[in-house]
Every structure is written in C-alpha cells, then in structure tokens.
Amino acid sequence: MTNPSSERGQEAADVDLPTQYQPANVEGRLYERWVSRGLFTADPARDPSRPAYSIVIPPPNVTGSLHMGHALDHSIQDTLVRRRRMQGYEALWVPGMDHAGIATQNVVERELAKEGKSRHDLGREAFVERVWRWKGESGGRILGQMRRLGDSVDWTREAFTMDDARARAVRTIFKRLFDDGLIHRAERIINWCPRCLTALSDIEVEHADREGELVSIRYGSGEDELVVATTRAETMLGDTAVAVHPDDERYRHLVGREIELPLTGRRIPVVADAHVVPAFGTGAVKVTPAHDPNDFEIGRRHGLPSLAVLDERGVITAPGPFEGLDRFEARPAVVAALREQGRIVKEVRPYEHSVGHCQRCSTVVEPRVSLQWFVTVAPLAKAAGDAVRDGRVAIHPPEMAARYFEWVDDMHDWCISRQLWWGHRIPVWYGPDGETVCPGPDEEPPAGWTQDTDVLDTWFSSALWPFSTLGWPDRTPELERFYPTSVLVTGYDILFFWVARMMMFGLYAMDGAEPFKTITLHGMVRDQHGKKMSKSFGNVVDPLDWIDRYGADATRFTLLRGANPGGDVPVAEDWAQGSRNFCNKLWNATRFALINGAHVRGELPEDVTAVDAWILSRLQTVIAEVDGHLESFDFAKACEALYHFAWDEVCDWYVELAKVQLADGRAGATRRVLGEVLDKLLRLLHPVVPFVTEELWTSLTGSGQGTDTIVTAPWPEPDRARSAPAAEELVASLQRMVTEVRRFRADQGLKPGQKVAADLEWNGSPLAAHEDGIRSLLRLTEPAGGFSATASLPVEDVKVHLDTAGAIDVAAERKRLEKDLAAARKEIGQARGKLGNEAFMAKAPEAVVAKNRDRLAQAEADVRRIEAQLAALPTA
C-alpha cells in the first residue's frame, strides 16, 4: 500500500496491526478471549423480548478427530449462529459428543490386546470402567479441534450421550415406548458383524462393489428340476424353499411340490412369491430365511422355517463335512462337492455385486436371524412424514424431501439392541420364572432379577439429542426457550439414519412438537476432481493441516465458498491458498485505511464524491444480497458476493480511487466513508471468517459501535437512502474506460507500473471530474513539451492520446488490430446471415434471435472501435 498522505494530520489512527497477517498469532488468543468473556453463552432468562435461536451440533464420535466433513458442517453452523447472534437473537449452539459404542469398544479392546488381555479377562464392570478412563484421558480430542476452527458453541452446556443427564433421558423414553407397546423383542434378521459380534445399524454397514463368483446350481431332478444362481453357495445348506413368480408359466406345475436340496438329503417346497423377478437369471431363487433379509420376508409370508447354518463368528454349524469351516472356507468346498455330484450347471464365473462391510472393522457383514429388541416405527414414522408434508418442518434444499419421504414412508422396525458392553444397557430385567419388567429411571428393579445383557444402539441416544441436551425429561427453562431448535445442519448421507430418528423421537417425546423447524442438508467434501476422499485414493485432506498453514478463516472460507445447497463440495489446496490471500487482502486494505485515518466516528457526510456515493450504494446492494443468500442457506453465493465486493470493488477500485481523494480537500469525507465500508464489510464477513474480522474490526472501530467485539456488533442492514444509481453508472463507465486502456497497455507489453504520457480529450464527459483518479489507476502522466501521440483510443466518449514512442511495436499492434478487425467482420457476417435467413427466423426461439441481434450489435461496435484505433496508429 502507499505511504500515508501528508495531509492526514490528526485524522490518522494509531496502527497496532503488524505489516503481515499471521493467523497463528491471532486465532488462539481471540478464541480464548471470546470464551472467557462468555460471548457464546446463552441465557434462557435474558431479555425474553429477544427471539431465540438454537442449533444442536451433530455429536461427533468420542473416538473421532476433525475431518473435512466436520469442518464443513461446523463452518455452516457457526456462520448461522454468529449471524443470528449479531442480529440480536439469544443464540444457543449446543456442543457434545457421541459415545460411539462399537468404535469406542474396539479402541479399548485393541489397547487390552496389546497387554495380552480381552474384555472377558476384566469382566463387564471393570471393562466399562476402563472405557470411561480412556474417555477421560484420550477421548474427545475433537473438542479442542473445534476450538481451533472457531466454533462459537456454548461450552457451559457440553453434553455426552452417556452422561447422567442423557442416561436419564434414555431410560425415560425407553420406558414410555415400552409401556406404549412400541418396543418389543423378537427374532428377526439383522446385520451382524462376525468380528465385533454385534448387530449393526444400516449406517454402520458400508457397501462396496466386490467381484464375487456366481454359481448356477441344479436343484431336484427330471421334471422337478430347477436351476438357481448364487454368490454365497455355502448358505444353500440352510435353504428351506425355492421361490418362483406366481405368473411364471415355466414353473407353475412345480408350485406346492417338494424338490431335493443337494448335499443335504432334505426335500424343500417350491413356493410362489411376487418378490421374484421372472426375467432375472433363471426366474427361480433359493430361499434361506435365516441368512438373507429378502428370504426372511418370503419365509414369513409362507411360514417357512429359518434354519441357521452359520454361527455368530461365521462358522458353519450344519452337521456334515462342512461343519466347523469358516464361511469363506466353506464356499469353495461346497462348490467342489456340488461339481462332484454334477450339480453345477454353469462353470463359476466372475460377478461384481455390492457387499456390506462393518464400518468399524471392515469385516464382511452377515445377515443373520437373531433375538433382538426393536422399535415399532410405523406410527412414529408416519408422524415424522406428516411434519414435513404439512410444513411444520422444512427441508432445504426442497428436492431432498422426496428422499426423506421414500425412507419414512417405507421404514422397517428399528433394531435397537447391540451385543456390546459399552453403551446404555437395555433397561429391562428378567425374573426367575421368565417375567419381564422395565422400571422407570427413578425406580429400582426387583431384587435378584437379571438385567438384559445388550446395550442400546448408539443412534437411540443420539435421536434424543435436540431435547435431551436441553434438560428433558424435566421442563427446564432451556427446553421452554430453545425447543424446537431452529435448524438442523447435517450431511444428506444421514438424512434417514439420524434425522428421521430425531424426528420420530422428538415428535413422540415432546407431545407433537417437532425437534427443529428447518433441516438444511449439505453434500460431501470431495477433492477438486469431484472424487470421494479416501485413504486408499490418497486424496484425504486434514483440515488441521490447512489451519496450521493457512489459518482457520481460510479453511472455512474455502469450504463455504463451495457449499451450494445440497451439492457436494470440491476442495483443493490452491483454493485454500487463494482464501489465505483473500484474508491478507482484507488485512492490507484495513491497515492502509487506518494509516490514512479511516474511522467510524459520527454520521456519514451528506456531501460525498461520486466515487464515495458509488461504493456506499454498492455496499447496500451487497448487504441485501448476502442477507438473502444466508437466509436461503446458499453459503457459496454469499461468499462469492462478499469476495468480489471486497477484492474487486473495495480493494481494487475504491481504495485506489480513494488514495487520490485522501490527498486533497475531500480527505475528511473519504476517511469516514472508507471506515464505514470496511466496518460493514467486516461485519458481513465475520460469521464466515471470524478471526481476521475481529482483529481488524476492533482496530478500526475501537468502541465506536457500542461494543468492543465484532461478535456482538449489530448485523448490517441496507440503507436504501444510500442507493445512488447515477454514481454507480458513472463509476461503471470509469471502470470500462480504465479496463480498456489497461488492455491496450498489456497488449503492447507495457508493465503495469510503467508510466506513459497521455493527453485526455474529455469531450464533455462527466469522467473529467475524476481525471486524477483515472491517471493514477492507469499510470498516465501529464503531457510535457514535445508530446506527440503515437496511439489514440476512443473509450467511453473520451479520446486517450498516448505517447508510447519506444514502448509500442507499431507494426505488431497494427497486425493485432487487423486480426481483431477481421474476426469482428466475420462475426457480423455470421450474425447477419442468420438474421436474414427466413427459415431460421421462423423457427428460432425469441431468445436465440435476441442473442444473435446482440452479437451483431457488439460486433459492429467492435469494428468501429478497432477501425478508430487503427486510424490513430502512426503511419511510419
């Protein structure tokens, strides 16, 4: 930036800002100051006239660390909360963690394994104590990382899904559901991990395409022969039927008859079921109710037995030669035995299909019939669907609602039990004669009764999060003030697994009151090529690495600038570097302003220059635009608007033009306008980039805004009285003129800072009043003795005569212009040809015709401009 004006005198501020912005020297210090002053602490009793705004953080796993998905999710939430806080809301953002049953138990079991022990060596009670100790010593690392990102959460309300308050909430809702007949125990088919030895929820199963082997097997013989195909030959040992479609003429004669199941000596029925697709494969499918979810449903419809042939570790239990073999050992052995009997119709061939894996240990998941606890979801799911359909809850973007309805309208009973030791233990006790009791949270079970050994699915406790974190089941002041919460921010990938369950439990527990007013869904963070981030791909980005190198603000801005509603968010390191440069640009511009006496004291002057009026007018438009984008959760558009206003208009144009005004009699008004623009700009940017804006704003304003922190500074509102269309048009004309001359200079190889003598022929243009600013922007000096124009450019009704002797290659410039002239004339010919074609004019849409007319007008203007430039070139 330039040196301070010699005329700034007493208007200059004391500038404590270093010459360069170093995020590491600012971020930690500011965050601890904010927390220590209680700026993020919400008070339900404070000023009831203030509107309430609340968000509960999607609780990260206690085992987790900050990844790019978290960073995006938290940056969005923090932007929303900080803006509402500035708007005068009583804003509450509740932090906390999930106990992550399977993941946490696995971590501690691995530690024990290093000591040569298992959890069974400790026993249940001692093992759970060991997990609590691990949580206190090593768990929750992500909470410190949230501070580094700048999360403005209310740390006084930090919650954990296994703490006492949440445990009481879990017991309360379980009891209520149990008494209402909405929780039951039954044998059903579930996802089972043979390594973790527990049932899994759908979200704990990750599907990936794997190449397997498809084998076609002949069942029965002669007229009773059927051929089925499978990738899991070992499960045929548990088949209890073969199913065909009721309308399939090929097999109608077999329905109701029994055929021989190879290798077993058993005879099994052929049943007709509409689930079978006749056109797929042979149109006949093996039915193994104990080991396939679709087969389980077929079995229930036809009263088939469920014959389990795999134990909890995936080992064959069926008597015979395969007993004791692991499922993957048994598969080729079964195929070999079938081949020996001549039962293989087609040779084994490769077949790619989707295979479920345990999210925690990557073991292939086994569908398995098991005695588990379930929630009857039908009435709860209907209520969750109705809340969105009748408008009580809005899903944003709206097109995501269709996916939500697909899930809640066809939801199956929810398996809530897990065969773990870490988690909320099922609050059901069994008596000596098989009696069952479910006492409430404040009741004791009968003496001598035995508690169920299973624990609840992690998602059960997190489904209570919007109200359990506010004190439910007690009617606390927090619950009264902040429930329903205002908005839920989360990725679209857990719309069903978490969001739908919170909707069900919130409506049920809170007497029909929805848990949040709005659900806003963002996409997944991907690499710059749109590829999923994966360790196997080598494209994972650690947000903490970016924070270390570029700062939290740059990391947040990079993510939010790509956060289009519902869309995936690509990121790249050079984009983070660009965001860091943006923060530096703000720093340098504000430092320049302070050096030159910019301030926010007193009212804005009424008598301002056209340049000052222009930037104030543009500021009002940007305030309205950013407000609209943030209200509609379009963070990408909000960031784009702020970026281009800050960089392009404020820094590249206004600051440069203001330098001239700061050096003359207009300095007083310009100092105030410059302070005003930066004040409002920094406030608009604060929710997105909180650290750099706080450091700059407090230096700029002091206590001039009634607060010494931007955290509680008023959110800007547009002042339509400052709209100045005439000034905007004038400066737009100035920008076009400067851009055109700069382009000419660049074409001639002139360096941006190289000064060139010029005579400006104004011809009555209002731009004449801004000659000093134009000359400064274009590095044009006043013509001196012996001035002789070597080139003339007609731009914006002004003729710019330049003396570029020795700086311009006239022959090269003539050649360039002649090439451009030929291209423009060709464009005219093409446009006129289309507009003169009767067939084209009769069929083309009006928008296409209008576009060609615009092309013609632009090309004709280009020809006039280029011809004038050629005429102005020296002849020798």
Quickly tell me which residue has 């960089």 as its tokens.
647
Do 528 and 537 contact (CB within 8 A), yes or no? no
How far, in Å, are 430, 546, 863 from residue 74 at the CA level?
A: 44, 15, 53
**Cα–Cα distance between 629 and 143 in angstroms, integer?**
29
**Cα–Cα distance between 680 and 20 in angstroms, integer?**
22
Q: Classify the phi-psi angles of 764: left when phi > 0, otherwise alpha if psi is within -120 to 50, otherwise beta.
A: left
pLDDT value of position 348: 65
CA dihedral sign of residues 355, 358, 362, 368: negative
* Cβ atoms within 10 Å of 250's Cβ, excluding its own: 13
Query: In the chain, count of helices (H) and strands (E)?
Result: 28, 29
Band the pLDDT of 695: cuts 50, 70, 90: very high
Flag whether pLDDT at 10 surpasses 50: no
Band the pLDDT of 12: cuts 50, 70, 90: very low
Expressed in percent and rounded to 5, the helix, strand and coil fractions of the chain are: 45, 15, 35
* Cβ atoms within 10 Å of 409's Cβ, excluding its own: 11
3-state secondary structure (DSSP) of residue 185: strand
**Cα–Cα distance between 503 and 483 in angstroms, integer?**
13
Do 569 and 528 contact (CB within 8 A), yes or no? no
| Residues paired with residue 803 on neighbouring β-strands, in sequence order | 757
Round the average pLDDT of the chain to a whole number and report it: 92
Do 499 and 530 contact (CB within 8 A), yes or no? no
Sheet (strand 226-230) strand order: 226-230, 205-219, 344-358
Band the pLDDT of 875: cuts 50, 70, 90: low
Does a cis peptide bond (omega within 30 degrees of 0) precede residue 397?
yes
Question: Read out DSSP for 670-707?
Answer: HHHHHHHHHHHHHHHHTTTSHHHHHHHHHHHHTTTTS-
Instruction: For residue 764, give the DSSP letter.
Output: T
Q: How many angstroms from the chain centroid is the CA of residue 144?
A: 21
Flag whether pLDDT at 684 surpasses 90: yes
Backbone angles phi, psi at 140, to 5 degrees: 80, 20
Flag whether pLDDT at 5 surpasses 50: no
| pLDDT tens profile 190-235 | 899 999 889 887 778 888 888 778 889 999 988 889 999 898 999 9
The full set of domains in the chain, from first to last, is: 50-182+377-522 (3.40.50.620), 198-367 (3.90.740.10), 551-723 (1.10.730.10), 809-876 (1.10.287)
**Cα–Cα distance between 854 and 870 in angstroms, integer?**
24
**Cα–Cα distance between 244 and 270 in angstroms, integer?**
7
Q: How many angstroms from the chain centroid is the CA of residue 641?
A: 19
CA dihedral sign of residues 201, 207, 212, 215: positive
535 is in an annotated binding site: yes
| pLDDT tens profile 800-809 | 998 887 666 7
* Cβ atoms within 10 Å of 820's Cβ, excluding its own: 17
pLDDT value of position 792: 85
| pLDDT tens profile 594-639 | 999 999 999 999 999 999 999 999 999 999 999 999 999 999 999 9
* Cβ atoms within 10 Å of 730's Cβ, excluding its own: 20
For the segment 707-735, the average pLDDT, to the nearest whole number, is 96
| Residues paired with residue 227 on neighbouring β-strands, in sequence order | 218
| pLDDT tens profile 63-100 | 989 899 999 999 999 999 999 999 999 999 999 999 99
How far, in Å, are 105, 362, 608, 650, 723 from residue 613 at the CA level?
A: 64, 63, 6, 13, 8
For the segment 685-693, the average pLDDT, to the nearest whole number, is 98
Return the half-sphere exposure (C-beta side, CA atoms, 13 A cut-off) of residue 217: 31
